[in-house]
Structure 1
Amino acid sequence: MKSRVFYNRVGFATLLNKEIHRFMKVPVQTVLAPLISNILYMLIFGGMLQTREVGIDGISYLNFLVPGLATMGAIFAAFQNPAFSMISQKFQNTIQDLNSYPISLAEKILAFVFGGMFRGVLVGILTYVATIFFVGYEVAYPIFFVLSLTATSFVFASVGLIAGLVLDNFEKMNFALAIIITPLTYLGGVFFEVSKLPGFLANLIYLNPIFPLVNVSRYAYIGVCEGNIVMHVLLTMGLLISSFLIAAYIFKKGVGIKIV
């Protein structure tokens, strides 16, 4: 008996390949541009603040910065891929065709999420590779580092799918990226220790879902981080599961897909 969840692996692979091929057709825009942005962050912040003391003994600011930049690149790339895919299909008036695809609901959702996840991991890994010239290639836990970028990319690919279904144009998507995700990322410990945030901002880190994602990647990269790594790993897993379940629920309800 065929699985009711995965019953058309060829169809799933075709849709996933379509999502990956879509952004790989314009690598300058989808991969090279965010990579160059991260390198510029490294040059500017690293050059200006490379002598800045970090509240973690034995860790230079440049080493502190690399995992944050890799995580930030993964977040933005993973979010944009499914969000852009959904909204572009709305503009082309082809999104309703998703209902006729001969694959299961789970296969449809995972194809879009995995496509975004692949782009996020690719940008994150390339960011690390680009920083080897500045800080060397040493990573405390290489496999854990890749897994942390994968988890981060999965979370924000799911969030991007949610945004693509709920929002109806690119302006709203860019607004969500610029006004919500970008500030949360900057305040999530990418460029500085969150413990040094002033006043009430220091307490808001516990409401910032990006903080544990950055912290897990930083621990995997340099072997230490702010706070309890076990708690942050658990929070990351919670974000991974909850974001995917919400995306699956919205997709199943047909939000942004069904004609009202």
Structure 2
Amino acid sequence: MGKNLIFYNKIGFVTLLKREIHRFMKVSVQTILAPLLSNILYLGIFGGMLQTREVGIEGISYLHFLVPGLTTMGAILSAFQNPAFSIIVQKFQNTIQDLNSYPISDIEKSLAFILGGTFRGLLVGTLTYLATAFFVGYTIEYPLFFFISLSVTSFIFASIGLISGLLLDSFEKLNFVLAIVITPLTYIGGVFFEITKLPGILSKIRYINPIYPLVNLTRYTYIGVYEGNLLLQLLAGSIFLIGLFLTAVYIFKKGYGIKID
């Protein structure tokens, strides 16, 4: 009965969380510096070429429009990769079954992997903001909510990363999801341009693209303006947060990708 409690073993939970954080910090050049440099290059290329481009939001420059999109994109990709690749590595090393013997609850195990990914996503997103601040300034309209938005976005995609890691069995399949599904949805999710300016059916994709409301919420906290219905986007973000976390815990509890039949 105790194993159903959220914190059945706090020491074990913290130990697993620290392991997940230490795992990506050991290779910080690859996990932190590389995505940070990529985002700075995006800012240099798109910002340099399109800095005079008019944005459909009065009083907002393109660079200011771009920064929250880049921070969100960095958080999304990093948060997804951390638990996903951690689980796949353990499958590759044939140590994934060891998770069954950890004296902590399934919620604690899931939460440790997800929070590890959340921390990495928030770290990359925050460092991206700090790096771009040299070009556009440090001003944030709602600083607290900006970091809350990045944290929620990171938590959501860390949950998706955990689900993907459990359900998939190879790096090739995981990279397919990352390259063919998540990355394109990010690009057309409002990172680089206003969704309403996309032609035809592409502008309608925002209604089924889960990344769009998250990018838009972060942009609102950064510059104080937004596209679409903010309340609906807040509702969508809340549903994603709760639904994906519960799904990840359920899959973990069922032992998909962990237990041997």
TM-score category (smaller protein): over 0.9
Matched, 1:33 2:34: yes
Q: 1:94 Cα shift? A: 0.6
Q: 1:251 Cα shift? A: 0.9
Matched, 1:239 2:224: no
Could you list the per-position Cα deviations for residues 197-251 of structure 1 after superposition, in whole angstroms to 9, with x for gaps in the alignment?
A: 1111111110000000000000000000101212211111111111111111111
Cα distance in 2 between the residues matched to 1:133 and 1:5: 42
Cα distance in 2 between the residues matched to 1:59 and 1:252: 47
**What's the counterpart of residue 220 of structure 1?**
221
Could you list the per-position Cα deviations for residues 36-70 of structure 1 after superposition, in whole angstroms to 9, with x for gaps in the alignment?
A: 00000000000000000000000000000000000
**What's the counterpart of residue 75 of structure 1?**
76
Cα distance in 2 between the residues matched to 1:109 and 1:153: 15
What's the secondary structure of 1:200's corresponding residue? helix
**What's the counterpart of residue 160 of structure 1?**
161
Matched, 1:115 2:120: no
TM normalised by structure 1 equals 0.98
Could you list the per-position Cα deviations for residues 153-199 of structure 1 after superposition, in whole angstroms to 9, with x for gaps in the alignment?
A: 00000000011001111111111100000010001000000001111
**What's the counterpart of residue 22 of structure 1?**
23
**What's the counterpart of residue 96 of structure 2?**
95
What's the secondary structure of 2:94's corresponding residue? coil
Q: Which moved more, 1:240-249 or 1:136-145?
A: 240-249
**What's the counterpart of residue 4 of structure 1?**
5
Q: 1:253 Cα shift? A: 1.0
**What's the counterpart of residue 207 of structure 1?**
208
**What's the counterpart of residue 55 of structure 2?**
54
**What's the counterpart of residue 65 of structure 2?**
64
Q: 1:259 Cα shift? A: 1.0
- Letter of the aligned partner of 1:120 in structure 2? G
**What's the counterpart of residue 171 of structure 1?**
172
Q: 1:4 Cα shift? A: 2.6
Q: Pairwise CA RMSD of aligned residues?
A: 1.1
Cα distance in 1 between the residues matched to 2:6 and 2:50: 51
Q: 1:21 Cα shift? A: 0.1
**What's the counterpart of residue 129 of structure 1?**
130
- Letter of the aligned partner of 2:131 in structure 1? A
For this pair of structures, how many residues does the alignment match?
260
Structure 1 unaligned runs (5+)? Answer: none
Cα distance in 1 between the residues matched to 2:5 and 2:71: 37
- Letter of the aligned partner of 2:222 in structure 1? Y
Cα distance in 1 between the residues matched to 2:225 and 2:5: 43
Cα distance in 1 between the residues matched to 2:7 and 2:80: 25
Report percent identity of matched pairs. 70
Cα distance in 2 between the residues matched to 1:4 and 1:110: 12
Matched, 1:251 2:252: yes
What's the secondary structure of 2:200's corresponding residue? coil
Q: 1:7 Cα shift? A: 1.7
Q: 1:5 Cα shift? A: 2.5
Q: Which moved more, 1:225-234 or 1:120-129?
A: 225-234
Cα distance in 2 between the residues matched to 1:6 and 1:254: 19
